[in-house]
């Protein structure tokens, strides 16, 4: 059980050793809740979810503290509230709820804590006060800025050197003129649209970065084990978090490991609102099972760009169908009760412990699937229709555990293959199909060729009719059943 992670801070893979094995601290930058989360947000969440599961497996479920915040104070939220004529809290409550529902549908485990920025304003004010007292920040007309020239390590995470940073073109209104250095960033700014809190340095609201520093310290401590987020957050957000936290806490380290996931893009290019190719998770969930979306998100290494296409989803669905056939077959062989005792196979888990290599893990899973059907087929060819205990122990058991470990195979196979379709009607048509076939076989035996052909044609007609409705008939030794495509 040796977890290695690529640490963005050092730019290489490192063996992960927690500060305290009884309390692993994991922080993930959560969403700003002003609209629906999109599939790119989902990727970031699913990647951390897998890391969370791996950590829980190694150190025990009670020893990993996973914090994913909700940012519920932000200019975009104020704008959305104004636009929709809703109170701020109405907007934030609504989209925070939807975010959590969407991630639950993707089978992401809930974080241990989900702090809200507005519940930590006092912590932010305290931290800003400390930075001012220590001379790392300065006030200017109701604003408080962090002075990057006071922090020597500024730029270490992103690899940027202060002198190479281009000045931003889209900093907040009136901020540029008040800054001492172009790269200084705002910690506190004046009230906007009635959104503000009283503070020693004037009534106002927090800048973007301070909330994470405050929430991390309040919920996890001054030095945490792992901090996650999308690559785009590396600079400036995470860089600024490090600067604030280290200076306020008088520490040289803020997060020991930085884990950044790459972007998810559309085949038409970068996902962006101006291109109109942003896909909300919610929309996808209307067309695809959450497990299909989850698998699609895990079909590339988290540090590689993932191109999101319809084909990727189709492929993921096909792959999951294969896994559910394993369960379906096992159930039909009477192995369902056994599967509850599924246990881990450390050999497989070690593949994912190598910097969250989900691909190699899935490869192992597929090999188990192939072995399962191979062994079952071998037995059946020998006329044995009861599976051996060894198939259960060495194949099915690890297969079920591994799939569950990654957050798959939650559904019943019946439910998976039939979904919400019109069960009674299709059951009836499949019975008609089987009757016609049985009669055709009987007619064939009695040598009535004309009747044989006619009955087979009748059964074929039923099959084609169902096919046009997206239903496929599968015929086994005990009669036929159906599934949706």
Q: Which of residues 258-297 bind RNA (CB under 7 A)?
A: 261, 263-265, 269-272
If 0-12 CB within 10 Å is exposed, 13-18 middle and 19+ buried, where does residue 68 land? buried
Residues between 25 and 84 with contacts to RNA, criterion CB under 7 A: 29, 31-32, 38, 40-41, 43-44, 76
Cis peptide before 236 (omega within 30 of 0): yes
CA 295, distance to chain mean position in Å, is 10
Residues between 178 and 197 with contacts to RNA, criterion CB under 7 A: 183
List 113, 156, 299, 451, residue binding RNA (CB under 7 A): 299
If 0-12 CB within 10 Å is exposed, 13-18 middle and 19+ buried, where does residue 170 land? exposed
* Residue placing its CB nearer to RNA in the complex, 164 or 250: 164
Residues between 316 and 345 with contacts to RNA, criterion CB under 7 A: 318-319, 322, 325
Match 């099972």 to its residue by tokens: 289
Q: Is 234 in the site for RNA (CB under 7 A)?
A: yes
Supply 106's token pair.
Answer: 């993707």
DSSP state of 392: I
If 0-12 CB within 10 Å is exposed, 13-18 middle and 19+ buried, where does residue 357 land? middle
Given the rule CB under 7 A, which of 91-99, 198-206, 305-313, 421-429 is the region that contacts RNA?
A: 305-313
User: What minimum distance in Å lies between the beta carbon of 403 and RNA?
Assistant: 13
List 69, 92, 107, 158, residue binding RNA (CB under 7 A): 158
Answer whether 116's CB lies under 8 Å from 218's CB.
Answer: no
List 214, 298, 312, 466, residue binding RNA (CB under 7 A): 312
Residues between 345 and 384 with contacts to RNA, criterion CB under 7 A: 354-355, 357, 359-360, 362-363, 366-367, 369-370, 373-374, 376-377
Handedness of CA 19, 25, 26, 30 (dihedral sign): negative
Residues between 376 and 435 with contacts to RNA, criterion CB under 7 A: 376-377
> What DSSP element (H or E) covers 472?
strand 471-476
List 79, 86, 140, 165, residue binding RNA (CB under 7 A): 165
* Residue placing its CB nearer to RNA in the complex, 29 or 59: 29
Answer whether 480's CB lies under 8 Å from 473's CB.
Answer: yes
List 15, 85, 152, 170, residue binding RNA (CB under 7 A): 170
Q: Is 116 in the site for RNA (CB under 7 A)?
A: no
Q: Is 139 in the site for RNA (CB under 7 A)?
A: no
If 0-12 CB within 10 Å is exposed, 13-18 middle and 19+ buried, where does residue 44 land? buried
* Residue placing its CB nearer to RNA in the complex, 130 or 359: 359
> What DSSP element (H or E) covers 261?
strand 255-261
Q: CA 404, CA 291: separation in Å to the nearest integer?
A: 11
List 81, 216, 233, 403, residue binding RNA (CB under 7 A): 233
Q: How many residues bind RNA (CB under 7 A)?
A: 85
Q: CA 456, CA 390: separation in Å to the nearest integer?
A: 41
* Residue placing its CB nearer to RNA in the complex, 114 or 130: 114
User: What minimum distance in Å lies between the beta carbon of 301 and RNA?
Assistant: 3
**Site mask for RNA (CB under 7 A), range 443-462, x = bound:** -------------xx-xx--
For residue 14, how many other CB atoms are within 10 A of its CB? 15
Q: Is 104 in the site for RNA (CB under 7 A)?
A: no
* Residue placing its CB nearer to RNA in the complex, 39 or 127: 39
User: What minimum distance in Å lies between the beta carbon of 413 and RNA?
Assistant: 11
For residue 31, how many other CB atoms are within 10 A of its CB? 23
List 139, 232, 336, 345, residue binding RNA (CB under 7 A): 232
* Residue placing its CB nearer to RNA in the complex, 130 or 195: 195
* Residue placing its CB nearer to RNA in the complex, 141 or 474: 474
Q: CA 59, CA 268: separation in Å to the nearest integer?
A: 42
Q: CA 402, CA 405: separation in Å to the nearest integer?
A: 5
User: What minimum distance in Å lies between the beta carbon of 257 and RNA?
Assistant: 16
* Residue placing its CB nearer to RNA in the complex, 299 or 421: 299
User: What minimum distance in Å lies between the beta carbon of 325 and RNA?
Assistant: 5
Q: CA 352, CA 4: separation in Å to the nearest integer?
A: 9
Answer whether 82's CB lies under 8 Å from 43's CB.
Answer: no
């Amino acid at each position: 059980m040796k977890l290695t992670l690529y640490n963005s801070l050092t730019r290489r893979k490192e063996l992960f050793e927690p500060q305290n094995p009884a309390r692993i601290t994991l922080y993930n930058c959560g969403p700003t809740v002003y609209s629906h989360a999109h599939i790119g947000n989902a990727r970031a969440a699913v990647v951390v979810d897998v890391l969370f599961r791996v950590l829980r497996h190694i150190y025990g479920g009670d020893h990993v503290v996973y914090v994913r915040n909700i940012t519920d104070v932000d200019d975009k939220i104020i704008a959305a509230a104004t636009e929709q004529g809703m109170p701020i809290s109405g907007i934030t409550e609504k989209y925070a709820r939807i975010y959590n529902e969407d991630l639950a549908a993707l089978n992401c485990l809930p974080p241990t804590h989900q702090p809200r920025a507005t519940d930590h304003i006092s912590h932010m004010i305290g931290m800003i006060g400390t930075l001012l007292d220590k001379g790392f920040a300065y006030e200017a007309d109701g604003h408080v800025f962090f002075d990057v020239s006071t922090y020597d390590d500024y730029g270490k995470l992103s690899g940027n050197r202060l002198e190479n940073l281009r000045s931003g073109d889209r900093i907040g209104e009136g901020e540029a003129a008040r800054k001492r250095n172009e790269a200084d960033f705002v910690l506190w700014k004046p009230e906007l649209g009635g959104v503000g809190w009283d503070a020693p340095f004037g009534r106002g609201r927090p800048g973007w970065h301070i909330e994470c520093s405050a929430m991390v310290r309040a919920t996890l401590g001054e030095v945490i084990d792992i901090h996650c987020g999308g690559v785009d957050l590396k600079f400036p957000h995470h860089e600024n978090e490090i600067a604030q936290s280290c200076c306020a806490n008088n520490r040289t380290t803020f997060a020991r490991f930085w884990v950044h996931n790459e972007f998810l893009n559309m085949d038409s290019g970068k996902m962006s609102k101006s291109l109109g190719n942003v896909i909300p998770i919610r929309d996808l969930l209307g067309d695809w099972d959450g497990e299909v979306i989850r698998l699609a998100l895990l079909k590339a290494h988290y540090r590689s760009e993932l191109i999101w296409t319809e084909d990727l989803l189709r492929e993921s669905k096909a792959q999951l169908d294969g896994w559910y056939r394993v369960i379906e077959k096992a159930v039909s062989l009477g192995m369902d009760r056994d599967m509850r005792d599924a246990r881990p196979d450390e050999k497989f888990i070690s593949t994912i412990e190598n910097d969250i290599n989900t691909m190699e893990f899935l490869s192992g899973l597929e090999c188990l699937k192939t072995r399962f059907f191979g062994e079952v087929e071998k037995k059946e060819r020998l006329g044995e229709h009861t599976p051996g205990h060894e198939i259960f122990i060495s194949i099915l058991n690890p297969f079920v555990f591994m799939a569950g470990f990654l957050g798959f195979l939650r559904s019943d196979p019946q439910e998976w293959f039939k979904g919400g379709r019109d069960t009674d009607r299709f059951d009836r048509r499949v019975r008609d199909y089987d009757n016609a076939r049985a009669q055709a076989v009987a007619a064939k035996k009695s040598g009535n060729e004309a009747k044989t052909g006619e009955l087979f044609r009748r059964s074929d007609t039923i099959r084609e009719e169902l096919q046009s409705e997206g239903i496929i008939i599968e015929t086994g030794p005990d009669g036929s059943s159906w599934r949706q495509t």
